[in-house]
């Protein structure tokens, strides 16, 4: 599904990703863990197409297509979703309008018709309810006045509505209390399916207690320095990143 091959990327001439190779197949859940500054967020932005990153080498194909040649909206239409570490507040744009425009954009790009208004409302209500979000909040401007936990739940509502093929979740667990973490984890687990994949980027083990990964990778200084099963996360939690970072140096 996603093939990352020797990916290198720089910001302002400084190389952040120094040759990442990773293969994700449908149905799999991968976790990338690493210390601050290891390139975790850069990887998620490069995959979703944000400006400001120069690709200096390597390739990324998604469902057989050259992902790096597409703009962010095309990637989303193809099935990529980025869960933001810091969801953006957009005053004046209501969540409802945002979700409707996003969903219909993605549907049109796939050659489908717009979702009729009644079906859209039902979809939103169902998804909001399952993520314990008051639908009234969706009448407000996107993320404006939301708490940290509410913003992350809103990310999960968007993900559920757009139903992507590959969800890249950038520190979705940061800043969550235990109740919010459970709700968000439920949102992630609800996406698990044989034809979908999830790439979780996280600093801590605790999200992995709720969303069990098939593979865990350690990212340090722009490279994946170790890959393994879910037990690798436990080793990291116990021993810390230092040993891996030193190994990468």
Partner 1 sequence: MTAFSEQFRNDLVGLTDNTASRAEAFDRFEGLGLPSVRDEAWRYTNLGGLAKKTPRLAATDQSEKAGILLDKAALPDLGGARFVVVNGRLDQALSSTTTDVDGVVINQTAAPYPTDTARALTALNKALSQDPLVIDIAPNVAVTTPITIVHVAAQNDDEAAHPHVQLRLGKGATATVVFAFIGGDQAYWVNAVLSADIGDNANLQTVILYDDGRQALNTNLLRVSQASHSRFRNTALLIGGKTQRHEVIVTVTGQGAETDLEGAALARAGQSQDIYTELNHTVPHGTSRQVFRNVADKGGAVAFQGRVVVAEGAQKTDASQSSRSLLLDRSAEANTKPELEIYADDVKCAHGATVGELDAEALFYLESRGIDQVTAKAMLVEAFVAATLENGPVATFEDLLQARVASWMQQRGGDL
Q: Which residues bind partner 1 (CB under 8 A)?
A: 48-51, 71-73, 75-77, 81-82, 84, 87-93, 97-98, 101-103, 105-106, 109, 141-142, 158, 162
44-to-25, 32, 50, 66, 72 alpha-carbon distances in Å = 17, 10, 9, 16, 12
157-to-32, 84, 126 alpha-carbon distances in Å = 23, 13, 10
Measured from the CB atom, the residue of 59 and 101 that comes closer to partner 1 is: 101
Minimum Å distance from CB 92 to partner 1?
Answer: 3
* Bridge partner residues of 213 (DSSP): none
Minimum Å distance from CB 87 to partner 1?
Answer: 7
Measured from the CB atom, the residue of 50 and 182 that comes closer to partner 1 is: 50
Measured from the CB atom, the residue of 78 and 188 that comes closer to partner 1 is: 78
Measured from the CB atom, the residue of 201 and 225 that comes closer to partner 1 is: 201
Eight-class DSSP state of 131: T
Measured from the CB atom, the residue of 22 and 168 that comes closer to partner 1 is: 168
Minimum Å distance from CB 49 to partner 1?
Answer: 7
In a 3-state reduction of DSSP, which class is residue 36?
coil
C-alpha 88/C-alpha 214 separation (Å) is 30
Minimum Å distance from CB 150 to partner 1?
Answer: 16
Minimum Å distance from CB 52 to partner 1?
Answer: 8
186: nearest Cα among 133, 111, 242, 249: 133
The helix-helix angle for 178-191 and 148-162 (nearest 10°) equals 10
């Amino acid at each position: 599904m996603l093939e990352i091959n020797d990916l290198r990327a720089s910001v302002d001439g400084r190389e952040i990703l120094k040759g990442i190779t990773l293969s994700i197949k449908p149905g799999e859940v991968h976790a990338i863990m690493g210390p601050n500054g290891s390139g975790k967020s850069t990887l998620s932005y490069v995959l979703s197409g944000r400006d400001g990153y120069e690709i200096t080498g390597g390739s990324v194909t998604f469902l057989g297509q050259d992902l790096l040649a597409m703009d962010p909206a095309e990637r989303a239409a193809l099935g990529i979703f980025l869960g933001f570490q810091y969801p953006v507040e957009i005053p004046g744009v209501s969540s409802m309008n945002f979700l409707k425009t996003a969903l219909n954009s993605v549907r049109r790009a796939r050659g489908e018709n717009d979702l009729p208004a009644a079906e859209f409302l039902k979809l939103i209500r169902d998804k909001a309810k399952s993520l314990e979000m008051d639908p009234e909040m969706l009448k407000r401007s996107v993320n404006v006045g939301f708490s940290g936990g509410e913003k992350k739940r809103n990310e999960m509502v968007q993900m559920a509505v757009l139903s992507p093929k590959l969800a890249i979740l950038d520190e979705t667990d940061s800043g969550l209390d235990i109740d919010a973490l459970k709700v968000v984890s439920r949102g992630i687990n609800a996406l698990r399916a044989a034809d979908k994949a999830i790439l979780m980027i996280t600093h801590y083990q605790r999200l992995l207690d709720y969303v069990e990964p098939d593979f865990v990778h350690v990212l340090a200084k722009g490279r994946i320095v170790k890959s393994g099963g879910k037990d690798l996360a436990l080793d990291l939690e116990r021993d810390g990143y230092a040993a891996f970072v030193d190994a990468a140096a």
